[in-house]
Chain A
């Protein structure tokens, strides 16, 4: 019994340290009509990685579109509105501005976010990659913040046997983490397009 409790303690400790699922915080329910049409806002880049926000924006948008469950609004339209509202791509719109964008683009949801940390470090023949993301989901009509998602992963966490599975590029890590976030959103009750 003593050994079993010790083993369980160590197991919980290891599992606790290596939390690999995105953390979703629900501030308000998602739109009743579903989350079919999504406008992806430019991501803020708080990391030192050049163009980190733009990379996450492109890859996350592609993964959302590639999932086949959403209609993704054209990135050009979002950027066009940013320009009209005098917003820099490295800036999050306020609720009033989101409401205005919602009136023009008519999405069900806005997805924006912050790249908190994006880093690569060469170790031997491999590259250590690290990414910390915060995603923010806003209502497409009112601009109200509905969900937030925090996700942090290292490329080496995907390593299985030898060097297999290890993610050596930052784009690869963004892609993998985007897939994990989208899958988790579905599990959390996000309703995709029905058509």
Chain B
């Protein structure tokens, strides 16, 4: 009996111990769960001020930023204080809201100890009688700069108009209730913060100079890197790779830029420049960072002059259109045009940086604003390509600004009046015509042609005392025009050597 009693007591004790062990496990499990939950809810969010696109491309909206912040706090989120965010923006000179680089994201993690970043943009906001609000939000992990949640919400007063017009919003705050309701309901409670090694090249700026070189010239590359995102500070070995050739990058004297230089290839063409990074772990990354061109010859240039061509010579009077053309088109860094006279003096000098102009017009003026004298001129056009190779061409023109003049000789015979017309200039004529009228307005004779001199015979009776009026016109091949009106041809003939009252008009009196 006693043995049985003690045996039962031992069994009960063993049972109690088992239960106690079970409870201990339960408590331990609950504690672990509690701690896990606490860790999850402790994920901190850095909420940056909202970019307001309704004001300008980099606008800020403090009022709505604060409203969204309050909403986030309502969801029991661990927010980084707004003052710390503002200090961070100022300290790191971040001037653009609504977007961050991978490097800036790593800085948020390092300096603000934030696990997540919430960036927002107000796409539309209208206050007043017809309010509208549109908001875009993006949540990114600071561990790998990946967007893990994004939301765009928009609400207009039109969306809230009901059948009887009750509770129609009339101001922006009237939209806040339905707009912010459940805005963050889909926000992930537990974002897995994957610790990823930042094996990125992390390049801040790249300068490749010059971008176009002659064969055998030196090319240099300067790269500024951000600080390593790898918290252990492991830096990769960096090289510039062109084709199969690798050139190691080394810090300059100031320790600011990584530099490498090499000799350009002999063959013309475009050469991509790659950055090669070898991490000690064996990881290799290669990416294009730029390119440069090897230029082994000048492009060549030719001139097209839009003037009147005669006997292989270009003539112009009012303006000359000059069209420069590249024989092998390529970007040009600067050009120059020079006009020299027969004595070799430069009368026009003009140039500009950039590509060659589509066309140029020379009106016969010098660079000092004077009118050039008639004669032969040499036009020289020069262009320099990106490798500073010069292309040049020349063309000769003749400037003839003179108005054609007609010499009139009149001789009176018995019953005839002989009118001899001759050109006073060498420029060939396009046409000429002469009309002779009696005093009563009747046409006596009309003569026309393309060449001078010419002799015109007018039949005039001796008893005729009436005035004979003459209209004379001519145009040369350059477009220069000549017009003359002689009111009394007989008087003009009689007093040829004297100063007469013959009126010579230079205006048109007849439509034709």
* A contact set with B: CB distance below 8 Å: 51, 54-55, 58-59, 61-63, 65-66, 71-72, 74-77, 79-80, 84, 89, 96, 99-100, 102-104, 106, 122, 125-127, 163, 166, 168-172, 175
Contact = CB atoms under 8 A, between A and B. Distances in A.
A127 B156 contact: yes
B124 interface: yes
A85 to B, nearest CB: 9
Nearest to B286: A103
A58 B136 contact: yes
B104 A104 contact: no
9 contacts: A58-B136, A58-B152, A59-B123, A62-B150, A76-B104, A77-B102, A100-B291, A126-B158, A171-B123
Contact of A102 (B57, B134, B288): B288
B159 A77 contact: no
Interface in B155-187: 155-156, 158-159, 161
B8 interface: no
Interface in B112-150: 121, 123-124, 130, 132, 134, 136-138, 140, 145-147, 149-150
Contacts of B285: 106
Contacts of A89: 57
- Chain B interface, >50% SS class: strand
B460 interface: no
Contacts of B147: 65, 72
Q: Report, nearest first, the 9 A-B pairs whose CB atoms are least far apart.
A: A103-B288, A103-B287, A171-B134, A62-B150, A76-B101, A168-B158, A75-B99, A65-B147, A76-B99
Contacts of B100: 74, 76
Contacts of A127: 156, 158
Interface stretch (B39-47, B199-207, B370-378, B388-396): B199-207
Interface string B85-118: 0000000000010111110110000000000000
B331 interface: no
B96 A104 contact: no
**Chain A CB within 10 A, most for which of B137, B138, B147, B289:** B147
A169 B57 contact: no
B289 A175 contact: no
Contacts of B124: 55, 169-171
A53 B54 CA distance: 12
Classify chain B's interface size.
35 or more
Contact of A163 (B96, B132, B161): B161
Nearest to A162: B163
B152 A59 contact: yes
B275 interface: yes
Given A84-B206, A103-B289, A169-B132, A65 B138 contact: yes
Contacts of B150: 61-63, 65-66
B154 interface: yes
A37 to B, nearest CB: 10
Nearest to B126: A169
A175 B53 contact: no
B97 to A, nearest CB: 10
B290 interface: yes
A175 B154 contact: yes
B272 interface: yes
A51 B53 contact: yes
B136 A103 contact: no
**Chain B CB within 10 A, most for which of A55, A72, A74, A122:** A74
Contacts of A54: 53, 57, 121
Interface in B219-272: 270, 272
Contacts of B137: 62
B151 interface: yes
Contacts of B274: 103
B123 A58 contact: yes
A172 B99 contact: no
Given A79-B96, A96-B291, A163 B158 contact: yes
B140 A74 contact: yes
Given A169-B155, A169-B156, A171-B134, A66 B149 contact: yes
B152 A100 contact: no
Contact of A74 (B53, B105, B158, B286): B105
A75 B136 CA distance: 14
**Chain B CB within 10 A, most for which of A71, A99, A127, A168:** A168
A79 B99 contact: yes
A121 B293 CA distance: 51
Contacts of B290: 100
Contacts of A74: 99-102, 105, 140, 145
**Chain A CB within 10 A, most for which of B138, B149, B274:** B138
A55 to B, nearest CB: 5
